[in-house]
Amino acid sequence: MRHGYSKIKFKDGQDADQMLVRKLATNFLMVGKLKTTIKKAKVLKTVLEKLIEKMKIKNEANKNYLLKILGDRELVERSFVDFGASFTKINGGYVRIVKIGVRDSDGSEMVVVEWAYPITNKL
């Protein structure tokens, strides 16, 4: 039985959902701020928390995990130096979700995903 287990799903299928999360994560790590819907932001936050934990320690296993999720070698190499070094002493809560209101066109709730702590080295 699956008591208490819930997974946020999108309507496009598993492959499209994985690609959507990959694009959101890549864009967030490049820019540092992202405006999206609340459903996508909640999924993105859980993925980013796991990725940043892997960025703290540079080894082959963590590098391969990041490559599987992000798919960009340059971003993975930079992330160990930039984000891993910034969050070594912090144990969680790297990303913050701030509600900004509803979208005019369809009424979906919009949020801004941003870093909870300042990043010392940026890409």
CATH number, domain containing residue 76: 3.90.1030.10
Digitized pLDDT (tens) for each residue of the chain, 123 residues in all: 777 777 777 888 888 888 999 999 999 999 999 999 999 999 999 999 999 999 999 999 999 999 999 988 999 999 999 898 889 889 989 999 999 999 999 999 999 999 999 887 665
Q: How far apart are the first and last CA of the chain?
A: 44
State how many domains the chain has.
1
pTM of the prediction? 0.87
Q: How far apart are CA 7 and CA 9, in angstroms?
A: 6
91 in any annotated domain? yes
32 in any annotated domain? yes
26 in any annotated domain? yes
pLDDT in the model for residue 121: 62
Main-chain dihedrals φ then ψ at residue 85, nearest 5 degrees: -70, -30
pLDDT in the model for residue 84: 87
8 in any annotated domain? no
47 in any annotated domain? yes
93 in any annotated domain? yes
Interior angle at CA 42, CA 31 and CA 33, nearest 5: 15
pLDDT in the model for residue 122: 60
pLDDT in the model for residue 119: 82
77: containing domain: 14-115
pLDDT in the model for residue 6: 73
60 in any annotated domain? yes
